[in-house]
Amino acid sequence: MSPGQRQLRVLTIDDDPVTQQMVAQVLMKIGVQLFVAGDVVSGIRTAHLVEPDVLLVDLSLPDGRGEMIIQRLKLEPALKDAKFIVITADTSDSTRKSLEQMGVDSYFVKPLDESTLTKAIKL
């Protein structure tokens, strides 16, 4: 695929530079178009603007919770086919359950594992 054609668009919403870089390094190997946002507000704005195919959302963000992003964007017609993947340090069952109810497609616990992340995005 050459630049110019529609490529898998990934938006990662995470304020941690190390996670951002880690995600970028992993994704750069599989051929995607990567956008990054660091908080809830810019995450929602960027999602509206770039209409990503996959959203990687951290739950704990400087200006609020990642769930707010998911709940809001799940209502967007332009994002009805988008895949939502959550990356968090919170491993509790209640969190996992509420995410499933929101319609989150996958759920990862930090630290990230390269192959599972690649698989989740590609599927």
Partner 1 sequence: MKDIVEGARKLVPLLSALDDHAIVSRTDPAGVITYVNARFCKVSGYTKDELVGKTHSVLKSGIHDADFYCDLWKTITAGRTWRGNLCNRSKGGELYWVESTITPILDQGEIAEFVSVRTEITDIVRKTEAIEHQRSVLEKVMLSVEFILFRESLLTGEWYQRPEDRLGSYVFDALRLKSDLVVKQHRERLDLAREHLGLEVKVQLEFGPDDLEWFAFKYLSVIHDESFESPEILVLARRVEEFESALLVARNAVEQMNLAEQRRNKIYGTIAHELRTPVAALQMLCELSNTEFSKNQKHIKGILGDLIATIDEMRLVTNPEYEKPLNLESVGLIELNRQISNAAIPIASAGHFRFELLNTLPLVLSNIEINTDLFRIRVAVINLVRNAVLHSRGCNVWVSNSLRSLETGELYLEWHTSDDGIGLGDASAQGTELSRPGEGVVEGQGLQIARKLVAELNGTLSYLPRSKGSEFTISVPIDPAIFDSTQPLRFEQSLPEPHQTDIPSDLRILLVEDDAMIRLLSQQLLTKLGMDVVVAVDGEDGLKKFDDNFDLVLTDYFMPVMNGVEMIDNIRAKNRSVPIVGVTAATIGSQREEMKMAGATNAIAKPLTAASFKAEVMSLIEKGLIVGRDR
Residues near partner 1, by CB under 8 A:
1-7, 9, 17-18, 20-21, 23-25, 27-38, 42, 45-46, 49-51, 77-78
Q: How many CA atoms, within 13 angstroms, populate the side-chain half-sphere of residue 68?
A: 14
Of residues 29 and 94, the one with the C-beta less far from partner 1: 29
List the structure tokens of 81: 């086919």
8-12-14 Cα angle (round to 5): 175
Rounded to a whole number of angstroms, the minimum distance from the CB of residue 31 to partner 1 is 4
Of residues 81 and 93, the one with the C-beta less far from partner 1: 81
Biggest distance spanned by C-alpha atoms of the chain? 43
Handedness of CA 2, 23, 91, 45 (dihedral sign): negative
Rounded to a whole number of angstroms, the minimum distance from the CB of residue 17 to partner 1 is 4
Of residues 33 and 95, the one with the C-beta less far from partner 1: 33
Q: Report the alpha-carbon distance of residue 123 to residue 114 in Å, rounded.
A: 14
Of residues 36 and 70, the one with the C-beta less far from partner 1: 36
Rounded to a whole number of angstroms, the minimum distance from the CB of residue 70 to partner 1 is 19
